[in-house]
Amino acid sequence: MANQVAFITGGNRGLGFQTALELGRKGIRVVIGSRALAAGEQAVAKLRTAGADADVLLFDITRSASHKSAHSYFQSKYGRLDILVNNAGIAGGSFPGTGPEHRAADAPLDLLRTVFETNFFSQVAVTKALLPLLRKSPAGRIVNMSSILGSLTLQATPGSPIYDAKSFAYDASKTALNAFTVHLAYELRDTKIKVNSAHPGWVKTDMGGQQAPMELEDGAKTAVALATLPEDGPTGGFFHLGERLPW
């Protein structure tokens, strides 16, 4: 893994930062995408202090110019990309969501468009932009940071752990992201690229809140495992800590 390079969007804090740290500890060169360069540089300083080979790229996932600059960066510096962790995302309101902005019956369309722009459309766009570089990797890995809240099976099953956790804008965006995982994995099934969705768990982050039961270290485990899958590892799946989740 010492020669591998990984790009983690939204990697300057929270789960993105922890994922970058854990990948860095495995000897993988990590590049974090950050909307604010100063915040990204501070995160990189912490990563380097911890022994990670790290760099930062000014990156806003909702801007196509950032997708192009990311492609140019990895093309010119490495000629390929080995790991893409699509981590950047937003909740779009209160989380896990009890306000009317998350009700399917009256969710404002502008809220839905905002959440989908970040959590789905931009994820597809940046993956499309970087896919030619992932194809050049001996073993490309794409990890889409999803959520168990995007599981239609569990959302529709009375008594499931998330049956009453309805946050329409966020949940639907993660369901759509899961669909992207399934379709892209199918299209790349004859290549060495593996595409999977990760549910990190309910983690103590700015989004998850301090009441969340999981620490960052545990929350990053699923993404790290999927980013470093062996050749015989799965593709087109939805996972949490090694266990498959229902779509």
What's the pLDDT at 119?
Answer: 97
Residue 96 in this model has a pLDDT that exceeds 70:
no
* 72, 158, 202, 214 from 90: Cα distances, Å: 26, 27, 15, 19
Higher-confidence residue: 67 or 216? 67
Cα(190)–Cα(29) distance, integer angstroms: 27
Closest Cα to residue 81, out of 141, 144, 16, 12?
141
Structurally, how many domains does the chain consist of? 1
Cα(39)–Cα(206) distance, integer angstroms: 15
Residue 108 in this model has a pLDDT that exceeds 70:
yes
What's the pLDDT at 82?
Answer: 98
Residue 95 in this model has a pLDDT that exceeds 70:
no
**Residue 32 pairs with which residues in a beta bridge?**
8, 56
Higher-confidence residue: 213 or 111? 111
List pLDDT tens digits, range 143-176: 999 999 999 999 999 999 999 888 899 999 999 9
Contact by Cβ (8 Å): 205, 154: no
What's the pLDDT at 74?
Answer: 98
Range of the domain at 226: 5-244
Residue 97 in this model has a pLDDT that exceeds 70:
no
What's the pLDDT at 212?
Answer: 59
Mean pLDDT of 231-235: 97
Q: What percent of the chain has pLDDT above 90?
A: 79
Mean pLDDT of 50-66: 97
Residue 1 in this model has a pLDDT that exceeds 60:
no
What's the pLDDT at 92?
Answer: 75
Q: Looking at the chain, how many residues does it have?
A: 247
Residue 208 in this model has a pLDDT that exceeds 60:
no
What's the pLDDT at 215?
Answer: 76
Mean of per-residue pLDDT scores for the chain: 92
**Residue 141 pairs with which residues in a beta bridge?**
83, 194
**In CATH, what number is assigned to the domain containing residue 83?**
3.40.50.720
pLDDT tier at 209 (50, 70, 90 boundaries)?
low
pLDDT tier at 201 (50, 70, 90 boundaries)?
confident
What is the side-by-side order of every strand in the sheet holding 238-240? 54-58, 29-34, 5-9, 83-86, 141-145, 194-198, 238-240, 243-244
What's the pLDDT at 106?
Answer: 85
User: What one-character-per-residue DSSP string does 19-82 give?
Assistant: HHHHHHHTT-EEEEEESSHHHHHHHHHHHHHTT--EEEEE--TT-HHHHHHHHHHHHHHTSS-S
